[in-house]
Amino acid sequence: MEQRDVIVIGAGPSGSIAAALLRKRGWDVLVLEGQRFPRFSIGESLLPHCMDFVAEAGMLEAVESVGFQFKNGAAFVRGDAYGDFDFSQKFGDGRDSTFQVARATFDKVLADEAEKQGAEIRYETRVTAVDVSGDKPRVRAVDVQGKEYEVEGKFLLDASGFARVLPKLLDLETPSPFAPRNAVFTQVADGSEPDAFDRNKVQIIVHPEHRDVWYWLIPFNDGRCSIGCAATPEFMSKYPEQLDDRLKQLIAEEPFMKRVLEKAVWDTPVRGMAGYSANVKSMHGKGFALLGNAAEFLDPIFSSGITIAMRSSSMAASLLDRQLRGETVDWTNEFEVPLRKGVDTFRTYVKAWYDGRFQDIMFAKNQPAGIRGMICSILAGYAWDESNPFVAEPERRLDMVAKLCAA
């Protein structure tokens, strides 16, 4: 039986960050990744808080050297109304900028850096079974040649993202509180003029007739961008079944997207994702913990997924280091409860987006003084900073300000 200190399922951002942080503390780490990198992945717009964990893992120089698209904020468009946030004007401390990245390149950079720091990554290796009943968790894996083997570790971290390996194998899944939504998306050579829109900001665009239907446009540094649309299954069912035709028709309905993408070259197949929101009964158990999207995914509207994933990796690596050195760790009160605090803050904002309150605030002409900086801090990823009133009391504050803006 192969023995390792820590087994990580998945080499995406959360898995690579966790592996690097554990290697820095001297632990033997094996990462089992189902795909071969580079590979396509959605979620290309990072938040500034992400860079705190990239730096902590010793990967910042490698990421900065690639030349990814600079990002300093977020812009919102609804018809003729436009509003944007500049991260330099946020409430509190923290980074003011980040990047918009093609995930195929970004994820490989992180994984390569984790390997340079001593983590072993086995690509094209699927985890088919897990046993956590014994003293140590045991994983059964199958490599690309079909060879099956088992590995035993002192602890297991699931960073498998939307594959959600442990939630499926250990029956941890539970319904998300959000209504099901689908997304269609791709990457194109946008062909837009330099002044067509602010390429330093992710663009969030509201459908001209349906406030709960929205588009994203995430520009890259090479004249390309990620585009997509998110809506309910019922809304999507009114459009062509063929995904390329569906997304093109959706974009043709929205003036901003239609204008910006008028000369776009559609050179990448359109992909779809159905019912993407997910949750779990618990983020940890005997001998294991869940990181990032493997635990819970809210919604892509505020690009919170990678931030939550990286923060969970940082927290788990620190706690696991203590546990492996013989300390007693309370995974509920030291990991799940504080992690969910920020997740719940993001959850409140996702809810407020779809029920209209956030949009009422965003596009209001009479916004109360000071609230933009506090909201901007959350949009930058700092959803755990309880000195921010919109983190400490997100529901009450949002409701109060939405009513003031509507008055």
Give the residue extent of every domain in the chain: 2-69+100-175+277-341, 182-274, 356-406
Q: Rounded distance, CA 20 to CA 316, Å? A: 12
CATH numeric code, 2-69+100-175+277-341: 3.50.50.60
**Angle, helices 13-24/48-56, rounded to nearest 10 degrees:** 40
pLDDT value, residue 370? 87
Q: What pLDDT sits at residue 248? A: 98
| pLDDT at res. 335 | 98
Those residues whose C-beta lies under 8 Å from the C-beta of residue 142, and which sit 6 or more positions away, are 125, 126, 128, 148
- Tell me what pLDDT residue 371 has: 92
From the centroid of its chain, how far is CA 166? 19
Q: How far apart are CA 192 and CA 334, in angstroms?
A: 47
Peptide bond into 38 cis (omega under 30): yes
State the 10-residue block means of pLDDT for the chain, 407 residues long. 97 98 98 97 97 98 98 97 95 97 98 98 98 97 97 98 97 94 98 95 97 97 97 97 98 97 97 95 97 96 97 98 98 98 97 95 86 96 97 95 88
Q: 202 in helix, strand or coil?
A: strand
Query: What is the pLDDT, as a whole number, of residue 365?
Result: 85
CA trace torsion 111, 116, 118, 120 (10° rounding): 40
> What CATH code would you report for 182-274?
3.30.9.100
334 DSSP 8-state letter: I
Quick one: CA dihedral 261, 262, 267, 272, positive or negative?
positive
Distances (CA, A) of 123 to 10, 145, 151, 185, 269: 9, 11, 15, 26, 24
In whole angstroms, give the CA distance from residue 267 to residue 265.
6
Q: Tell if the pTM clears 0.85, that is, is over it.
A: yes
The confidence score (pLDDT) of residue 367 equals 83
What pLDDT, in 10s, does the model give residues 347-357? Answer: 999 999 999 99
